[in-house]
Structure 1
Amino acid sequence: MTEQHILHVNDIELSVHFSGPEDGKPVWLLHGFPECWYSWRHQIDALAAAGYRVCAPEMRGYGRTSAPQPVEAYDVITLCGDIQAAMDHLGHTRVAMIGHDWGALVAWHMALLEPERVQVVSGMSVPFGGRPKRPAIDMMREHFQDRFHYILYFQQPGRAEAELESDIPRTMRLVMHGLSESGSGNTLFGNKPADARWLDDRVDPGVPPQWCSQDAFNVYVETFERSGFRGPLNWYRNFGRNWERTADLAGRMIEQPALFLIGDGDPVGEMEAYTIKKMPSLIPRVEQHVFEDCGHWIQGEKPEQVNRYLLEFLKRTFT
């Protein structure tokens, strides 16, 4: 069981779900796109049972958390600011920071920004590549001038929102299946025109993937029916601003003990193969593990494995 609280921090209302003993060591679980706090349901129970104080926020733009309209309200420093302010509010001085997908990006940056308070860090599915020499969005535009790429599609406010919000259960089924190990084809980019829509060429299977129960699926759908997709998509519209606002982090390494988990069938792994290979040069104490027969939704597809690795890692490093 979790308790949900609204924290008034960083000029927003941040919805956070808590579980475990109040005097337990704090473990933050940061979700990605298009997901919600409930994507950590299996980890929340396991971590709480092990005596940790679990904090699972609905990230900025999602669910019951505020969703500011301006695009620039979603750069990575601001997103980290939400968690930093929540840690201040809760009196957290030593935490474990764990993230998946976009939540992993926030977790990696939290480790850089808070080297004293973030004792250990774990990222799932999205590796840490450091600050690029120029904004990643510029490189994407060069490489995908005439081909579809989901991130480029997300750049124009309103267009992707209209598609994804037209039938939210269908959107969630297609994205979940499309990035699962059992899915058919990669939904991130493909052999279609640059001006195509994201999911038009996908066939709706009509049911969630096997790893996501109907009850869990309903929580995901409710999240986006409440908040829509504008806030979550705005995360993707800040690559240039992220690059500008992280200038002082250029060349910085993550010194804390770190754990990186990814599925062997995760399309992000193919897209970020070079980054994964160079990650030990940026995180000297990183442990990396690849899960077999697993797609992008690692904590849902392989919950027992994720829990085993997380608990063992925390037992060794989060003292």
Structure 2
Amino acid sequence: MQTRLIQTDTISQSVLEAGTGPLVLFIHGFPELGISWRAQVEALAEAGYHAVAPDMRGYGATDKPEAAADYSILHLVGDMVALVRALGRTQCVVVGHDWGAPVAWHCALLRPDMFRAVAGLSVPFQPRRPGGPPTPAMAAIAKRAGLGELYINQFQAPDAHAIFEADVAAGLRKGFYAYDGATPDARQSTGFIPAGQDFLSTVPEDATLPPWMSDAHFQEYVDAFAQGGFKGPIDWYRNLDRNWALTAFVQDQRILQPALFLVGERDPVRHYSGQHEAGLKDWLSGLRGSHVLAGSGHWLQQERPVEVNRLLLDFLAGL
């Protein structure tokens, strides 16, 4: 594996890559980096693929535009199109986890000529709903249920990233712990924040690193976010309503390419993204597999690398 900077038509992107052959692009989520895909990059390179995992816009050594509006879904998909072109390719398979999953789904939705197949981890494809932008609807649902405020709504505040930057190591440690499959039920996050609290204050102070996370690997995250901050990554959340407005032209459009979905049985995101596995086939015409990984939490590709690699390689082999 090597890391290098690639200047594309949109931004300069830092990528982790290995192998030669058909291109497979891996898109990370929050609060992660391209290194979250190391096990997959290695396994796919050994199997005859060119595996590439960028630090996404706002993360790591990749460019970090200042304006929040520069983190829309169209910018994020555009970055991936530009990266594929910069790598000298016209087609690839795209795989996304967490926030990277909606980006991967939209890559397939918006550029089916380039993204010939798609896999999403942890976050299912969620079609654009015609009733209005998502954050007011999220707030209303949480209020009716008496659950406090969804952290996604808290992240809309212009200073929402400050709680993470106050103590980068503690913020990352708590985030990884709260969504990990090894964390007991009562200590996992539900995503809903009681009045007067925030995302980090709801996580126990004695939160530990997940069993799959070494001190050295964790330090890579701490160093990257200490240098780059959290504003860019949380700007992705601040574009949710803008994304809804920008994607009216794909209302009711389905993804036709071969598709795969993987989710951890104990992933807290399922509390608020919904357990949509049964309904995926209505929107993914080429769905070839939907798998719930027993005992796993949110950090699927790092918690269950052997199983994820096997499912991805089986999917790729069938294309």
Q: CA RMSD in A?
A: 1.5
Q: For 2:227 and 2:23, how far apart are their aligned partners in 1?
A: 28
- CA positional deviation for 1:78: 0.8
Q: For 1:191 and 1:33, how far apart are their aligned partners in 2?
A: 18
TM-score, with structure 2 as normaliser: 0.94
2:126 match: secondary structure: coil
* Unmatched segments (≥5 aa) in structure 2: none
Residues 2-61 of structure 1 deviation map (CA, whole Å, 9 limit, x = unaligned): 232232331x2221222112xx11000000001111110111110111111111110000
1:296 aligns with 2:294: no
Q: For 1:206 and 1:4, how far apart are their aligned partners in 2?
A: 34
1:252 corresponds to which residue? 253
Q: For 2:116 and 2:202, how far apart are their aligned partners in 1?
A: 44
Is 2:191–2:268's contact at 8 Å kept on the other side of the alignment?
Answer: no
Q: Return 28-37 or 168-177, whichever deviates more.
A: 168-177
Aligned residues: 312
Q: For 1:221 and 1:188, how far apart are their aligned partners in 2?
A: 24
- CA positional deviation for 1:76: 0.4
2:38 match: secondary structure: helix
Q: Runs of 4+ in structure 1 displaced over 4 angstroms?
A: none
Q: For 1:306 and 1:208, how far apart are their aligned partners in 2?
A: 21
Shift of the 187–242 alpha-carbon distance from structure 1 to 2, 3 Å rule, reads same
Residues 261-305 of structure 1 deviation map (CA, whole Å, 9 limit, x = unaligned): 000000112322353332110002211000001000000100000
Is 1:7–1:16's contact at 8 Å kept on the other side of the alignment?
Answer: no
1:202 aligns with 2:203: yes
1:55 aligns with 2:63: no
Is 2:72–2:242's contact at 8 Å kept on the other side of the alignment?
Answer: yes
Of 108, 113, 118, the residue aligned with 1:111 is 108
Equivalence map 1:20-35=2 (5 Å): 20-21=19-20, 24-35=21-32
Is 2:193–2:202's contact at 8 Å kept on the other side of the alignment?
Answer: no
Identity %: 38
1:80 corresponds to which residue? 77
1:173 corresponds to which residue? 173
1:16 aligns with 2:52: no
Q: For 2:246 and 2:281, how far apart are their aligned partners in 1?
A: 24
- CA positional deviation for 1:87: 1.4
Q: For 2:251 and 2:88, how far apart are their aligned partners in 1?
A: 29
Residues 71-91 of structure 1 deviation map (CA, whole Å, 9 limit, x = unaligned): 110110111001111112222
1:192 corresponds to which residue? 194
2:134 corresponds to which residue? 136
Residues 239-268 of structure 1 deviation map (CA, whole Å, 9 limit, x = unaligned): 111011111111111001100000000011
* Unmatched segments (≥5 aa) in structure 1: none
1:243 partner letter: W
Q: For 1:63 and 1:212, how far apart are their aligned partners in 2?
A: 18
Is 1:30–1:103's contact at 8 Å kept on the other side of the alignment?
Answer: yes
Is 2:139–2:149's contact at 8 Å kept on the other side of the alignment?
Answer: no
TM-score, with structure 1 as normaliser: 0.94
Is 2:77–2:103's contact at 8 Å kept on the other side of the alignment?
Answer: yes
Q: For 1:183 and 1:165, how far apart are their aligned partners in 2?
A: 24
